[in-house]
């Protein structure tokens, strides 16, 4: 019945449907960025400043937005109606149908799609992170072990995870240290998520790539052994997905190794493993993450990845093993369905 209503609205009054969707989107972005000026908001929405000014004035008249020297913020009334506005906007854009189609195609029980394409608007990533963060607690219970990777996307999940009642959860990094960006390292992300969940965490004091002899020596240290054993016993894994070529460059794989990985058909990278289009692992760049291959069969795999450029990569990783949840954006979702 609801689908019929939205379909009728789009046929009879497409201009009205577009206005409602635009105002709901402005409310969403103000919520994510507040306090925010109209010029900056226009940049984030990729809209003319004049149009944003007009919408903001209408929302202010309705008592939904307040404006001061610091910028625009939502009123308590706006906070109250925002969840309904989000649902209305999603249905108008057909995102609910998109989620259903993607769930069926990828055989993933729970799929959540946010509006936009992070490749076009980088700020979409914060909404992807917010949605993933809002769902994370549903998969955790007292005594759970949560393994998390690093990267910008999972960092966004950690950043937008709302503090709540404390949970007796152990959070461990699913990767060793990589590169120099400390805030997106798995150790840092694990620590932040544990703090916001009110749980505990363990660090992985290892570089991501070690030869077998070095890893065997490091395993003699009790704190290293404990973290690796916790990783193997993980009940939930929260991870990001990248393109094989992008991640090979970012992780500074030797050129001859990178060429071989791509020659073997790698299109995706997740938790240190490179996958071909059928979801087969063709190369593991992370000595530490190899323990993820020993995960419990019923371990909940929660993937968070966005951007149309990652469509083939997301599809490949979804085929690698049974997945529990995927959070992505409209750009990636439509591109996956078009593959």
| Per-residue pLDDT tens over the stretch 228-272 | 777 778 899 999 999 999 998 888 888 999 999 999 999 999 988
pTM of this prediction? Answer: 0.82
159 vs 123: which has the higher pLDDT: 159
Please determine, for residue 31, whether its predicted confidence score (pLDDT) is greater than 80. Answer: yes
Where in the chain do CATH 3.40.50.1360 domains reside? 95-338
Would you identify the CATH topology of the domain 95-338? Answer: Rossmann fold (3.40.50)
Largest CA distance in the chain: 70
**Mean pLDDT (whole number) for 156-185:** 79
Domain 2-92 has CATH 1.10.10.10: yes
Angstrom CA distances, 12 to 16, 101, 257, stand at 9, 26, 57
How many other β-carbons are positioned within 10 Å of the β-carbon of residue 212? 9
Instruction: List Cβ neighbours of 202 (8 Å cut-off, separation of 6 or more).
Output: 170, 171, 172, 173, 190, 223, 226, 227, 230
Angstrom CA distances, 50 to 19, 32, 57, stand at 15, 21, 11
pLDDT tens per residue, range 179-214 = 555 556 888 899 999 999 999 988 775 555 555 555
Sign of the Cα torsion 15, 16, 18, 22 reads positive
Please determine, for residue 222, whether its predicted confidence score (pLDDT) is greater than 60. Answer: no
Enumerate the H helices of 46-144 as residue ranges. 49-61, 76-93, 95-106, 124-136
**Could you tell me if 338 and 124 are in contact, meaning their C-beta atoms sit under 8 angstroms apart?**
no
3-state secondary structure of 148: strand
- Give the E-state strand segments of 123-215 in sequence order: 145-148, 170-173, 200-201
Choose among 133, 134, 130: nearest CA to 28.
130
DSSP letter at 276 equals: E
pLDDT tens per residue, range 95-139 = 888 999 999 999 999 999 998 899 988 888 988 999 999 999 999
Where in the chain do CATH 1.10.10.10 domains reside? 2-92
Give the pLDDT of residue 239.
95
Average pLDDT, the chain: 85
Task: Encode 227-237: b = buried (16+ Cβ within 10 Å), e = exposed.
Answer: bbebbbbbbbb
pLDDT tens per residue, range 76-97 = 999 998 888 888 877 777 888 8
């Amino acid at each position: 019945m609801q689908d019929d209503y939205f379909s009728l609205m789009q046929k009879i009054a497409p201009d009205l449907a577009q206005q409602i969707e635009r105002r709901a989107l402005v409310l969403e972005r103000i919520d994510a960025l507040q306090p925010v000026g109209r010029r900056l908001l226009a940049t984030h929405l990729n809209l003319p400043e004049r149009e944003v000014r007009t919408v903001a004035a209408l929302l202010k008249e309705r008592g939904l937005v307040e404006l001061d020297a610091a910028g625009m913020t939502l009123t308590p009334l706006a906070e109250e109606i925002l969840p309904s506005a989000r649902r209305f906007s999603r249905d108008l854009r057909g995102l609910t149908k998109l989620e259903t189609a993607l769930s069926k195609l990828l055989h993933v029980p729970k799929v959540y799609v946010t509006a936009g394409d992070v490749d076009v608007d980088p700020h979409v990533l914060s909404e992807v992170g917010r949605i993933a963060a809002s769902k994370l607690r549903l998969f955790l219970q007292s005594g759970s072990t949560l393994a998390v990777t690093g990267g910008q996307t999972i960092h966004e999940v950690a950043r937008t995870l709302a503090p709540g009642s404390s949970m007796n959860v152990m959070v461990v990094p699913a990767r060793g240290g990589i590169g120099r960006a400390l805030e997106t390292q798995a150790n840092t992300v694990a620590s932040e998520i544990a703090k916001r969940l009110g749980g505990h965490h363990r660090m992985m004091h290892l570089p991501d790539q070690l030869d077998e002899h070095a890893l065997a020596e490091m395993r003699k240290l009790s704190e290293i052994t404990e973290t690796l054993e916790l990783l193997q016993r993980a009940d939930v894994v929260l991870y990001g997905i990248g393109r094989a070529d992008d991640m090979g460059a970012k992780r500074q794989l030797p050129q001859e190794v990178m060429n071989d990985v791509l020659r073997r058909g790698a299109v995706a990278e997740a938790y240190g493993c490179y996958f071909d289009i059928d979801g087969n692992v063709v190369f593991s760049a992370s000595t530490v993450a190899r323990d993820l291959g020993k995960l419990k069969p019923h371990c909940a795999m929660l993937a968070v990845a966005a951007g149309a450029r990652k469509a083939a990569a997301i599809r490949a990783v979804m085929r690698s093993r049974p997945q529990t949840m995927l959070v992505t954006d409209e750009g990636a979702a439509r591109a996956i369905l078009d593959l």
